[in-house]
Each structure stands twice: as structure tokens, then as C-alpha cells.
Amino acid sequence: MKIYQYTIVFLFVLLGSCSKDLGNYDYTDINELAITGIQSNYTVLRNVDTLRIKPVISATMDGGDQSRYEYLWILTAGKDMTDTISRERDLEYPILLNPVPYSLYYHVLDKQTGVVWRFNSRLTVNTPFSRGLLLMGEDEEGYAEAEMLSMLNDTIQMKHLLSESGLPRLREPVSFLHTGGISDSYNKLWVLTGSGSYYLNRITMKTKTDSSMKRLLFISDQISPETLHPVVIAPQIRTAAGATGNSYNRAILTKGGDIFASQMLITGGDYYNNPVNRVATAQEERLAAAPYLLYAIGNMTSVIWYDTKNQRFLNYSSFGLATNSAVLSDAAGSAFPWNQAGTGRTLVYAENTRNTDGGSTNGNSFAIMKDAANVHYIYKFYANGGSPVKRASYTIKPIADDFANADFYAFSSNRTVVFYSVHNKLYAYDYNPGNEKIYSLAETGADEITMLKFDTQIDYLTNSLYIATYNPATKGTLRRFIVGSNPDFVNLLPAENSTWQGLIKVKDINWRAVN
Amino acid sequence: MNKNQLIALLCVLSSFLWSCEKEIMEYKGREGVYFAVQHGSSSLSISQWPYQPYSNVEFLRLTGDDVLFPMKVMITGPVKQYDRTFRVEVNPDSTTAIQGVHYEAIQEEWTIPANAVFTTIQVRLKRTPDLRDTERTLGLRLVATSDFALSFPEWDAIPSLTGGSIVPEFDASLHTLRINDIMVQPSVWRGSIQSGNRESGLWGAFSRKKMEFLMENLGLSYQDFASEQMMPLARSMQVKSDAAAILIARYNAKTPVLEDDGRLMYIESVPWTSYIGVPWVPEQ
């Protein structure tokens, strides 16, 4: 019986614990603030903008007494940086920050109540160099010069980037490119010329002569430093946001025809060992490569290159592991032989595209060959992995005027058309078998054509062709055209707001999307 | 101000200035000598290294077959304006090295020059084949003279000196040289031994023979493997490639490079697998 008595007592104790504390408190309203007039996001340019913010502070009961407040503007960048940039009510802050994302905190301390009122924003710092077209060409004196069409909000022409970079004057302009990719530590901004190649500080665009290929090499081969500077770097940027076809594989082709390949996770960074332009059966001999690295832009798992000594295409397909390249085998009846020695043909030009014919998801490459009779051929292939695939071979018909004399070629990714130019003449040749056609185009006028290049970086689906011309009076001009989609006809439509004048004599352009 | 007042004022000022004189005590301690040998972390300065009762003499890190090894001896007591002598002799209790083989007869009488507080004594040591396998020791002891007693027969480690291995107490009138030519695996070695004693990684298992092969054929030194800065991953990759090419060429030429146990020397990229203790059997 006692157990029931204990249970009842225990239940009362439990119920007692449910008793609500009604308390007996006095509540007093305090001064409350509402902060407005601050945006949640700001985007500014380094070395250009001053961030000016005038917050609107509404108080419920401060009686207009501004002396009761203290203000803090706090800037943070991850765990690496926290800085109080102002103690004033309003912010006026010249932007000299590095171009990384920041959080901006506005704190208002009411000294009488001890309460801090906050407002948070995000601050994005860009440089004028963060996004736009990188131009490489010649100035009026024939020196290599780099410019940029900065395209953050408005388009701004940034001049003299190479001549004011801190480098000696260079000749033979080749390219100006950002390596892109997801890893900031692997990214570089290169100026490539025939007389030297260097990487620049990506924020200041300055550099020194020791920022060159030699700092990236751990090699045992003896290679002349005179030819040890890059003229081609792969992979290229393939999206408007700056992605590349492979974030960890990188290949560099030098003026001397050496190819350096790195799997940057394996080598611990953007570093390179002995060149891979050699074959296993003759490891001691480096074979000079033609100045083209051929790969699938969408995913660079391998690189095909052209052995100028033995007139053949060779394949490097094992980044970070292989120390040489593979000789490709030719099956009877294939579109063309990888080994051209038996054909008597030599390489004239080569280019990577976004063309997907034959199921080449990541993009076919094209090569123009010529034989002893000056007949030209187009080879189309998929440089994808250890077993690249030949897609087709086309013979250039005699209707293609001056094809053999062209200064520049450019293959459309979306049509069977190759554009080419001879001095100031622009042609388009449709190589579709059985429907070959030639078009002479007058859109560029009488000015000398200095560059033809299809957009394979920003939005290749628009079929945009960039054409650079030069006139001593008006200087360099760069125009973007849209190639019409009518398969029976080739025409060029000027793209809106896509003509830039007063430039250098443009030799190459590349897209830059990030710092 | 009359003359008397001026004199009085000067007296007061003089007394003030007199009070500024600092009382400098002369050192009253024992006039003695002690081994003042410091070593510690190479990333820190000598001012952070603790005092040590021994020194490692590793011929592997030295060039040449003999070395004049220096040791610092300091004094306690006042500095004198004339030369004073102290003595050093071999301590047989802590010596396994053989005079004439591992070291030359030591100079026993040394001088602390006038106005100096230390000097450096030197002993000539020799690299011998047995040092590859066995460490030898040479114990030295300071001997009291009419000029110097022994300063610190019981040395206590200085608490602020923490930049190396600390010996809490020792006799600072003794110092032992640990002499060897033993090759241990360097700080950076990019290889490993997997189950079944299978060699793996860029460079496989470490061996003296492999290190000497790399040094002889690739122009490397043992010091090249001392740190990540000296041997970054990219350089290691090139070492691997170059070494593998030589090993393969030697193999194809029927003159393979073998480890001491008879197995084929292994570096990643060679087409064979090597197991420690399993000799290579040539194809018939």
C-alpha cells in the first residue's frame, strides 16, 4: 500500500515542477535603431573607385543626440583579414584592396544602452583587368605591345600593358593569355612573344624578367635558354566564367619546339620536368614540334603535336606520368595517316575548335596540310585520350582562291567553313564535300587583316568571328561578326557594339574572366 | 646670486652628479673554462640553441675524408690582458675511436688570448670504412691548470634556450664527439615499403646503395634531400624519371643495378617489381 502513497506524492512533486514562473518584472523601452541606405552588395574597382556609403539611421528615442553613438566599419576576408576601416558615421574609403570577396559590417554602438546595431554587406573588388579581352600585337614602332578591352561594366581600353610592365621591349608578339581554371595558385597571366615570354602580376600587371619559364622547371635536359620561352599554353579558357578544359593538366610549347607537360596535382604546382616531345624508342632525342598543341577544348586529357622532323602527329596522353609521346598507328583505309611521311604532305596550320562532328563531344581539331604540288588538305580529328580518332579528310578545291597564300585561317566550330585572309582580302571556303563553295567577303574593307579568330571561349554557339585590321591612320580595329547560319550561304553580320578602334596591330586575342 | 650662494649651489649640484655614478662590481667568480658547444634546430638562430655535452660528426654531410672539427671553449672569471692556457685531453672512459685511425693526436695545450673570453679548439677526424656501420666516440675533457679551474662540473640547462634537444644536466668540462658515416634515410624520401616488402612510391625503399646511385648518376648530394625546399615534388619527379631511365638502360644492357640483397634496384616507372630480400634471378 505504501508504494501507492509514495507514487501519489511523487506525482504531486512532478506536477509541481510544471508550475510556471510568472515572475514580477518591469520592462522599459530602450532606444532602437533602424539602419537603411546601405546596399547588401557593392562591386568596386581597385585603384579606381572610392566606396561612399551614407547610412540612414532612424532612432526611436535618442532625442537627436548623435553623441551617444559610436560607429565601426569592419571589413573581413575569410579568416585571413579583419580590419576596421573607419570609425565615422559615413564611409568614404578609396579601394586599394586585393580583388577578393569581402564582408562589410557596419556597427552602431548606442553608448547609453550598450546595444550594438548592425548592418552587413558584401563587397566585391575587381580590377579593371579582371574581365575582358586580352590583346597582343605590335605598336607603331614594331614592338610587341599588350592591351586589354576591360569589360566589367563599360568597355575600357587599357593601353601600354606590356611596355609599362617593367619588362624590356619585346618583339614578335604571339599571345597574351590568362590560364584560367579553378585553382588560383595555378593561374598565370602570360605575355608570349618570340623574344621572351613572362607572366605578369595578375592584379598590378607588372612583372620582372625572372618571372619566366625557368622558374617553373625542374629538368635535367640541357636546353638553350634562348628558345626556352612559351609560345603556346594549353588548355585555353572555354567558358565566359573562365573555366578550362582541364584544371590540372597543362602543356607548354616553347619557341624551340619543346613541349612541357604537367599534372599539377602530381608535381605540386605549375611546375615541369623534362620535355615530352620525344618517343620511348629514342628518349635521348627531342623532336621539334610545330607551334600547335591540339586537344579537345572541352576536356584536355591528351595533346597531339606535330613532329616537324619526321612529319607525323604524335600523342601525349598521360599527364604527370609519361615522359614521352606515343607514335600513333594507322589502320588501312582511315581518313588520313597520322604519319605523313608517306604522303609527302607537311603541316601548314592547325586549330582546336568546339566542332562536335562524329560525336566529338569535347571538340574536334583541324589541321591544314599541303603536298609538294601545293594542293591543300583539311584533316579533322578528335584529340581525345590515348586513342585519338580521325574524323575526315578534305581536299581543298581549286576554287579556293589564294588558299595557299593565306596569312591567317580560322575554322568555324558550327559550320563546314574555314575563313582565310590574304592581305586585305577575306574569303570563306565551305569544304562540305560535293557542295564546296568559295565566298569573297568585303566586310573588312581595304585595311590589312592582322588576325582571324573564332570565339571558342566566351560563347562559341553564336559562331562569332573576330577580325582585326590595321590602318596607319586609324590604327588597329577589332570587330566581331556573327557568321550566318544559312547552310547554303556564308555571310558576316556585324555584332552589335562590337567594334573597337584605336588599338595596336592585333595579332591575337584571348578572354580573361577572373583575376 | 652672490658668490657664496653660487659655490653652495655648485656643491649641491656636484653631490647630485656624484650620486649618478654607477657602482660596477667586478666579477668575483671562479676563473675557469668550460665547453660552450651549442647546436639545435637549423631553422632557429644560435642564440636559441641549448648548450650540449656532445656533437654529432656525420661524414655523410661533409666533403672530404677528414675534417678539422671545431669546439668552442669559454671562460668564467675576469678577462685578463695576457694569454692564459688550459689543457684538453682524451677521456678514455667515453672514447671508442682509435687515435691514428679515427682521429689524429689532439693538441693538449690551448690558449685563451689576452682580452678574450673564448677560443675554438680543433680536432682532426678521419672518415674510415668502419664508420659506415659503426659509430665511434671521442671523449674530450678539460684539465685544470694554474690559469683555469673547471667552471661547471655540474651544468644546468639554461631555461631560455629551447631551440634544440635539451640535456638538463651534464659536466661542461667534458665533450663527446659522436663520429659516423652512417647513411640514414634523409628528411625527404618519396618512397615506401608495402605489404610483402614490396617497394613502392616514387623512389621505393631507401638504401645507401640507392642514394649513392642517385648521387653518382644524377649529380645529387645527400643535402639535396634535406628539405622540401631543396627537393620539391616536381624535382622529385625528375629524379624519378632520370633514375628510372638509367636503371632500365642498365637492365637492357645486361648490367642491372642490384641492391645488396641482390634484388633489382627499384624506382617508380621501371617495369619490374622489387621485394626486399628477394634476389633477382636472371632469365636463362
A185 and chain B: CB distance < 8 Å anywhere?
no
- CB distance B271 to B247 below 8 Å: no
Give the span between the Cα atoms of A405 and B24, in whole angstroms. Answer: 95
Q: In the structure grid, which three cell numbers stand for residue A363, read together?
A: 571538340
**Any idea what DSSP says for residue B59?**
G
Q: In the structure grid, which three cell numbers stand for residue B100, read together?
A: 691514428
User: What proportion of chain B, given as a percentage, has pLDDT over 90?
Assistant: 82
Residue A132: left if φ>0, alpha if ψ -120 to 50, beta else—which one? left
pLDDT of residue A15: 52
A67 and chain B: CB distance < 8 Å anywhere?
no
Residue B272 vs residues B11, B196, B198, B263: alpha-carbon distances, Å = 98, 15, 11, 10
Q: Which residues of B touch A271 (CB under 8 A)?
A: 232-234
Give the span between the Cα atoms of B224 and B222, in whole angstroms. Answer: 5
With CA atoms as reference, report the closest residue to A89 among A112, A103, A106.
A106
Give the span between the Cα atoms of B148 and B276, in whole angstroms. Answer: 57
In the predicted structure, residue A182 carries a pLDDT above the cut 80 = no
- CB distance A391 to A364 below 8 Å: yes
In the predicted structure, residue A2 carries a pLDDT above the cut 80 = no
Question: Is the torsion defined by CA of A407, A413, A418, A419 positive or negative?
Answer: negative
CB contact under 8 A, A273 and B234: yes
Question: Domain coordinates of chain B in residue numbers?
Answer: 32-180, 183-284
pLDDT of residue B64: 85
Closest approach of A267 to chain B, Cα-based (Å) = 4
In the predicted structure, residue B22 carries a pLDDT above the cut 80 = no
pTM: 0.76
Residue A78: left if φ>0, alpha if ψ -120 to 50, beta else—which one? left
Helix (H, G, I), strand (E, B) or coil at A67: helix
pLDDT of residue A183: 81
- CA B39 to chain CA mean position, Å: 7
Average pLDDT score, chain A: 93
B9 and chain A: CB distance < 8 Å anywhere?
no
Could you please state the CATH topology (level 3) that the domain comprising A33-126 is classified under.
Immunoglobulin-like (2.60.40)
In the predicted structure, residue A187 carries a pLDDT above the cut 70 = yes
Query: In B, residues 214-273, which contact A (CB 8 Å cutoff)?
Result: 218, 232-235, 237-238, 241-242, 245, 269
Q: Which of A250, A323, A324 to mutate to test the interface with B (most CBs of B within 10 A)?
A: A323
Please compute the mean of the pLDDT values over residues A69-86 and round it to a whole number: 90
Give the span between the Cα atoms of A151 and A141, in whole angstroms. Answer: 28
Could you please state the CATH topology (level 3) that the domain comprising B32-180 is classified under.
Immunoglobulin-like (2.60.40)
Q: How many CB atoms lie within 10 A of CB A398?
A: 10
A274 and chain B: CB distance < 8 Å anywhere?
yes
Between B11-20, B32-41, B224-233, the lowest mean confidence (pLDDT) is in: B11-20
pLDDT, tens digit, 9 for 90 and up, residues A405-449: 999 999 999 999 999 999 999 999 999 999 999 999 999 999 999
CB contact under 8 A, B235 and A269: no
pLDDT of residue A10: 59
Residue A350: left if φ>0, alpha if ψ -120 to 50, beta else—which one? beta
Between A15-29, A156-170, A223-237, the lowest mean confidence (pLDDT) is in: A15-29
Question: Domain coordinates of chain A in residue numbers?
Answer: 33-126
User: What proportion of chain A, given as a percentage, has pLDDT over 90?
Assistant: 85
Question: What chain A residue is nearest to B232 in terms of C-alpha separation?
Answer: A268
pLDDT, tens digit, 9 for 90 and up, residues A293-307: 999 999 999 999 999
Between A19-33, A350-364, B190-204, the lowest mean confidence (pLDDT) is in: A19-33
pLDDT, tens digit, 9 for 90 and up, residues A37-49: 999 999 898 888 8
Q: What is the band of A82 on the pLDDT scale with cuts at 50, 70, 90?
A: confident
In the predicted structure, residue A17 carries a pLDDT above the cut 60 = no
Which residues does residue A365 pair with via DSSP β-bridges, in sequence order?
Answer: A352, A381
Q: What is the band of A127 on the pLDDT scale with cuts at 50, 70, 90?
A: confident
In the predicted structure, residue A237 carries a pLDDT above the cut 80 = yes
pLDDT, tens digit, 9 for 90 and up, residues A334-385: 999 999 999 999 999 999 999 999 999 999 999 999 999 999 999 999 999 9
Please compute the mean of the pLDDT values over residues B216-245 and round it to a whole number: 93
CB contact under 8 A, A273 and B232: no
- CB distance A151 to A500 below 8 Å: no
Q: What is the band of A29 on the pLDDT scale with cuts at 50, 70, 90?
A: confident
Closest approach of A325 to chain B, Cα-based (Å) = 14
pLDDT, tens digit, 9 for 90 and up, residues A205-219: 999 999 999 999 999
Q: Which residue in the set B234, B242, B269 is minimally distant from A268, CB to CB? A: B234
Residue type, A381: F
Q: What is the band of B7 on the pLDDT scale with cuts at 50, 70, 90?
A: low
Query: In A, residues 244-273, which contact B (CB 8 Å cutoff)?
Result: 262, 266-269, 271-273
pLDDT of residue A1: 47
pLDDT, tens digit, 9 for 90 and up, residues B120-175: 999 999 999 999 999 999 999 999 999 999 999 999 999 999 999 999 999 999 99
With CA atoms as reference, report the closest residue to A186 among A162, A206, A198, A202.
A202
